[in-house]
């Protein structure tokens, strides 16, 4: 479980595709690898991945963390598009006592959204995302959505998707400031919204029958 509050950005050190699996190697500052264990869950661009190996680099302030990303995950997320030198949003899983500053995120990506417009203004950045109509109904005005793992509030909703209003702090902490029009971002809709809408729709469908 995660909160959508990005802790840092990890740099992609190496990628290797073999047998339908991507071995993804990320480099992160040592302070974000404290008490790390094998099998730990970390959200990378919002996708929950399992640590399969890690090692601190000698004479360095960085740790390498290794993940295996299966073919199904590669189809649903943008992890397969990561290349050496790219930056990925990084969040360790919630522990007891963690401040829940965002919203509850499972790390299970529902779909990807395409960036159709980026407008830079004096104190923020407006970004429009086009999303599959199947998932559009779960994105509500002023509701929560996880974008590349960052818990964000939906600005406006239109027939093609939705707008985000990104403040300088969000742009500084996450990799959203490195995105360009046409890029794909991982989306996890708010689970509470998802559950309520599906429950109501199922109830109404049964009543109609």
Q: What number of residues does the chain have? A: 209
Q: What distance in Å separates the CA atoms of residue 33 and residue 174, rounded to the nearest whole number?
A: 18
Instruction: Let me know: does 161 contact 129? Beta carbons within 8 Å.
Output: yes
pTM given for the model:
0.94
Instruction: Give the Cα-Cα-Cα angle 44, 28, 95 (nearest 5 degrees).
Output: 60
Q: What distance in Å separates the CA atoms of residue 180 and residue 49, rounded to the nearest whole number?
A: 25
Mean pLDDT of 173-191: 97
At 91, the pLDDT band (50, 70, 90 cuts) reads very high
pLDDT at 202 > cutoff 90: yes
State how far the alpha carbon of 129 is from the alpha carbons of 30, 35, 162, 181, in Å: 34, 37, 6, 9
pLDDT at 100 > cutoff 80: no
SS3 of residue 108 by DSSP: coil
Instruction: Give the Cα-Cα-Cα angle 113, 101, 86 (nearest 5 degrees).
Output: 45
Q: Which residue, 57, 67, 58, is CA-closest to 14?
A: 67
Per-residue confidence (pLDDT) for residue 4, from 0 to 100: 94
* Percentage of residues of the chain with pLDDT beyond 90: 88
Beta partners for residue 135, in sequence order: none
> pLDDT for 121-133, tens place per residue?
888 899 999 999 9
Mean pLDDT of 80-95: 95
pLDDT at 19 > cutoff 90: no
Mean pLDDT of 23-50: 97
């Amino acid at each position: 479980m995660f909160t959508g509050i990005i802790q840092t950005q990890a740099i992609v050190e190496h990628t290797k595709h073999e047998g339908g699996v991507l071995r993804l190697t990320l480099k992160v500052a040592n302070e974000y690898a404290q008490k790390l264990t094998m099998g730990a869950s970390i959200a990378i661009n919002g996708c929950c991945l399992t640590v399969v190996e890690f090692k601190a680099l000698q004479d360095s302030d960085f740790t390498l963390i290794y993940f295996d990303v299966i073919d199904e995950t590669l189809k649903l997320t943008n992890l397969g598009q990561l290349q050496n030198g790219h930056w990925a949003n990084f969040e360790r899983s919630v522990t007891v006592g963690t401040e829940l500053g965002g919203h509850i995120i499972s790390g299970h990506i529902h779909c990807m959204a395409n960036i159709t417009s980026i407008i830079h203004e004096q104190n923020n950045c407006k970004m429009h995302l086009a999303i599959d109509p199947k998932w559009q109904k779960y994105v509500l005005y002023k509701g929560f959505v996880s974008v590349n793992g960052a818990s964000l509030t939906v600005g406006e909703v239109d027939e093609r998707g939705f707008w985000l209003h990104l403040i300088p702090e969000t742009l500084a902490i996450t990799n959203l400031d490195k995105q360009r029009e046409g890029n794909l971002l991982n989306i996890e809709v708010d689970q509470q919204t998802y559950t309520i809408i599906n429950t109501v729709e199922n109830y109404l469908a049964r009543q109609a029958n």
